[in-house]
Structures are given as structure tokens and as C-alpha cells.
Amino acid sequence: SQQGEEDPQALSIQEGENATMNCSYKTSINNLQWYRQNSGRGLVHLILIRSNEREKHSGRLRVTLDTSKKSSSLLITASRAADTASYFCATVKFSGGYNKLIFGAGTRLAVHP
Amino acid sequence: DAGVTQSPTHLIKTRGQQVTLRCSPKSGHDTVSWYQQALGQGPQFIFQYYEEEERQRGNFPDRFSGHQFPNYSSELNVNALLLGDSALYLCASSLAGGSGYNEQFFGPGTRLTVL
């Protein structure tokens, strides 16, 4: 079973609007990562936030992490049609130096021109 | 600098057959992980190889096996294929170091269809 649960499952917005996706997880983690996937192809790493961090920015992306609520959010500001993709959160729990990613089911974002 | 490459891109097999998927990691990377992504789902961890040994394994049956070669490339083998094995198989490479913060770089995936 998967660790993360994304919300919403699908999101449809207009260009220029902000998109917010949420992720919840069940067990303690060392870090949480967000990935993007276009049309069922390979995943592209967007941002990593460590368990002792609360917020991180990268360009138009803003990620928050609340370890007390076991949740994270990804905000994409001023969205563009090219942002249309599926977005996944993935958690990492260190295990003897070998770390696997546990993914949620993803949010499918559609940005309309 | 080539990223992670996978072959083949697409594959069609019938139930009961065996399949081998291949992955070449990003230059400089020594760890390879494999993930299975069913349609509409997130990727699920299959296993991870480092120094030619399986280091971690997800909840997959023994029909799924792998190998890592001295040049760090890797193969995923699936025996006795089932319809439910139809999925996108993703390979990811990273650099081991124990920090856990090393980014995993994903390949484009191999789309396996089992008929």
C-alpha cells in the first residue's frame, strides 16, 4: 500500500491561477519530495523538503510540511498550460543508508489557456 | 551527460511469458531502484540495487527479480507474467551515501502490456 495520499485527485484551473495540491502520509519520515510526470512518462524531481523544515521555495513552487499533521502542500503560482501534468508526493524514511521513495496516487492538474 | 536510459520503450507479452527490462543509470550514479506504476496510480517500489546486491525490496513476489552489473546498469526480470503486471516500469538512479537526501533521477520508463 502507498504511504501518501494526494488531494485532490484532479484539479482543473485557468492559466494565471494558483494550484494547490495536498499530500498526507501515515508514518514518520526523514524527507518528503514532490515529483511531476507528463503523460505517463518519467518522473521529474521538483523539490525536497526535510523533516526539520517547514517551508521551501523554488521558482513558482512553494512547499510546506507539517510533521505534526503528517501533511504537505505544493503550491504552483501563476500557473501555465505547460504545468499540465500529474504531481506526486513521495516520502523517504531512512533505512540503513538505502532509501526508497513511497509515492502517493498523485494529483492530475489541467491548466487551461 | 546522458541521463537514465531504459529499454525497450514498449513491450507486449502474453500471460506466462518472461520479460527482461534494462536500465542504464545516470553517469556517476551507483544505485538503481525499480518502480512499477499501474495506470492512474503512483509508482510502487519494487527493489533497489547497490554494489550488485539487492538492498531493499518492496511488497512484490519472487517472480520479480533483478540484477546489477559491475558498470552499475541493471535488469528487471519478471517471470510467469500475469495480466496485472501490465504497467509502466520506471528505473531511477542515485548516488549512495547514506544521507538519504540524494535525488533519484528517473528514466522514461518501459510500458509493458500483458495480453
pLDDT for A77-88, tens place per residue? 999 999 999 999
As a whole number of angstroms, the longest Cα–Cα distance in chain B is 42
B10, B45, B91, best to mutate vs chain A, most A CBs in 10 Å = B45
pLDDT higher than 60, residue B81? yes
Contact A22, A11 (CB under 8 A): no
Q: Do B106 and A102 touch (CB under 8 A)?
A: no
The three cell numbers locating residue A4: 501518501
- Secondary structure of residue B74 in the 3-state scheme: strand
Chain B contact for A43 (CB, 8 A cutoff): yes
Given an 8 Å threshold on Cβ–Cβ distance, is B108 in contact with A41?
yes
Cα–Cα distance measured from residue A107 to residue A4, given in angstroms and rounded to the nearest whole number: 11
Which residue type sits at A43?
Answer: L
Nearest CA in chain B to A105: B42
Section A4-33 average pLDDT:
92
Contacts of B39 (CB under 8 A, 6+ apart): A40, B87
Is A106 within 8 Å of B41 when comparing Cβ atoms? Answer: yes
Distance set, CA B78 to CA A85, A99, A111, B46 (Å): 29, 23, 38, 11
| CA–CA separation, A103 and B93 (whole Å) | 16
Q: What is the mean pLDDT of residues B72-94?
A: 97
Tell me what pLDDT residue A1 has. Answer: 43
Distance from C-alpha of B56 to C-alpha of B40, rounded to nearest angstrom: 25
* Run of H or E including A80: none
Asked if pLDDT for residue A105 goes beyond 80, the answer is yes
Q: Is the pLDDT of residue B52 over 60?
A: yes
Nearest-by-CA chain A residue for B50: A98
Q: Grid coordinates representing A13? A: 484551473
Q: Which residues contact A38 (CB under 8 A, 6 or more apart)?
A: A44, A85, A86
What pLDDT score was predicted for residue B100?
Answer: 58
Q: Do A45 and B103 touch (CB under 8 A)?
A: yes
CB A111 within 8 Å of CB A83: yes
Residue B104 has what pLDDT?
A: 87
A39 and B CB contact within 8 Å:
no
Q: Mean per-residue pLDDT for B53-77?
A: 96
> Do B4 and A42 make contact, defined as CB atoms within 8 angstroms?
yes
Q: What is the DSSP letter of A84?
A: -
Q: What is the pLDDT of residue A93?
A: 82
Residues 84-103 of A with CB under 8 A from B: 88, 90, 92, 94-103
Q: How far is CA B74 from CA A19, A87, B23, in A?
A: 37, 27, 5
Chain B nearest-CA residue for A88? B42
**Helix (H), strand (E) counts: chain A:** 0, 11
